[in-house]
Amino acid sequence: MRNRTACAICAVLALASACGGGGSSSGGGPPPPTGQNVAPIIVDSGPAAAVNIVNTAYVTVTLCAPGGTTCQTIDHVSVDTASFGFRVIASVLNSSLAQALPQTQASSGQPLVECTQFADGYVWGPVKTADLKIGGEEAASVPIQVIGDSAFPTSTVPTDCSSLGKTNENTVAAFGANGILGIGVFREDCGPGCATGMPAGTPLPGWYYSCPSSGCTGTLTPVAQQVQNPVFHFTTDNNGVIVELQSVGAAGAPTASGSLVFGIDTQSNNALGMATVLTVDANVGEFTTQFNTQTANQTLAASIIDSGSNGLFFPDSDSTMIACKDSTGNPTGFYCPASVQSLSATMQSVTGITKNVSFSIASADSLLSSNPNYFAFSNLGGPSGPTFANSFDWGLPFFYGRNVFVAIEGQTTSAGMGPYVAF
């Protein structure tokens, strides 16, 4: 997830709130797939506690204590193909479920707590065990993260988690969702590095911690105890997912709908067909994007396909690709070109397979001020920033009008084993 909120342009939205809509709405398309392996997706204004949310895809998840007797249905869970595992904001949980979720213990016998870093912030909270139900699929006894649990307040956050200069996002308002469903290419969120350490025996900073009352210290965490991609734990349809979203016109749309389909070539509704398969790096899940601007030919080797990001984020120093600024002159994180820019780039897999993609970038200020009640935009983008200067983040605008496949590492499909993405 590499998400920018729309908060930086709140003033623009406020001034335009009486202007109404205009422009085109979401496009049509074939009827959505049906079946027990399908969960509806909605792109809308987000949960009530969040504000200024755009381009965020949500599903509904039923979360249960192990054994399935104490459950709660949670809406507005963000769908993220670039993270791994289920995380829920603690304040969303009712007291019965919150008390019923068993705490995972570190090897020390103390509570296991995780720091999760996203591009725009971090979250902090304990690892607990839960059953998950999404659509008609179920995953039993899966390690999840409970974000912002009052038993582990921000005062307990270790400095190697909080010192990266990012914002704490432990609330629904800050996170923009009631939770996040990480369904990317990996089975768990960290992997062998957190289990064995780097160097061996030394816990990776900013990941898992043993947290007695005296304070939290980094700890080695077996892969099986790490927060897990729940799709991998389904009994069937467990080799990947398809994110299917309807197309969105140039002016945006109030909402957009689609489907999260589980499995690849496991049922009649999830056939890979003629999709181009792009194998990604088995260690980091990335591929290369060749993006040539007017002034530079860029090979962006840390590119990702990321439904949890609300725009297309990439480096572009051309004079036409102006960065938006707020009333005080600070950048908002989006592009504001004087006219719509029609662009293209070429994705390349680690095996050399290429796929050309055309896209457009419009002024974020114009889009959001002209359509203050629209929450789906196909041409929203921004600079990737110095931390991600070698990355093209293909966020949610890339998904509109496409069926995007994500195959999990080590899982067999008709196109071979994951990890790969395809469309």
Instruction: Note the pLDDT tens digit of each residue in 73-107.
Output: 999 999 999 999 999 999 999 999 999 999 999 99
Average pLDDT estimate for 44-63: 95
The span from the first CA to the last CA of the chain, in angstroms, equals 19
Per-residue pLDDT at 126: 99
Amino acid identity, position 263: G
Handedness of CA 196, 111, 87, 162 (dihedral sign): negative
Query: What was the pLDDT predicted at 2?
Result: 39
Label residue 8 by pLDDT band (50, 70, 90).
very low
Helix, strand, coil shares of the chain, percent, nearest 5, are 15, 40, 50
Residues whose CB falls within 8 Å of the CB of residue 383, separated by 6 or more in sequence, listed in order: 313, 314, 315, 316, 323, 331, 333, 335
Domain ranges of the chain: 33-233, 265-422
Q: Which helix (H) or strand (E) holds 43?
A: strand 38-43
19: tokens are 């202007």
Tens digit of pLDDT for each residue in 233-270? Answer: 999 999 999 999 999 999 999 999 999 999 999 999 99
Amino acid letter for position 313: F
Q: What is the mean pLDDT of the chain?
A: 92
92 or 22, greater pLDDT = 92
Write down the pLDDT at residue 359.
Answer: 98
Q: How confident is the model at residue 28 (pLDDT cuts 50, 70, 90)?
A: low
- Alpha carbons 231 and 343: distance in angstroms, whole number: 34
Q: What is the pLDDT of residue 32?
A: 82
Torsional sign, CA 146, 95, 235, 265: negative
Q: Tell me how far apart the alpha carbons of residues 152 and 157 are, in angstroms, rounded to a whole number.
A: 8
Q: Does domain 33-233 sit in CATH 2.40.70.10?
A: yes
Whole-model pTM: value is 0.92
Digit-coded pLDDT (tens) for 147-184: 999 999 999 999 999 877 678 999 999 999 999 999 99
So what's the pLDDT on residue 58? 99
Q: Classify residue 150 as exposed, middle or buried by CB count within 10 Å of its CB (0-12, 13-18, 19+).
A: exposed
The two three-digit tokens of residue 128, written as one number: 């607990």
User: Are 117 and 182 contacting, i.e. CB atoms less than 8 angstroms apart?
Assistant: no
Tracing tokens 């197309």 back to the chain, one arrives at 247
CA nearest 306: which of 381, 358, 373?
Answer: 381
Q: Poorest-confidence range of 215-219, 355-359, 384-388, 393-397?
A: 384-388
Q: Using an 8 Å Cβ cutoff, are 218 and 160 in contact? A: yes
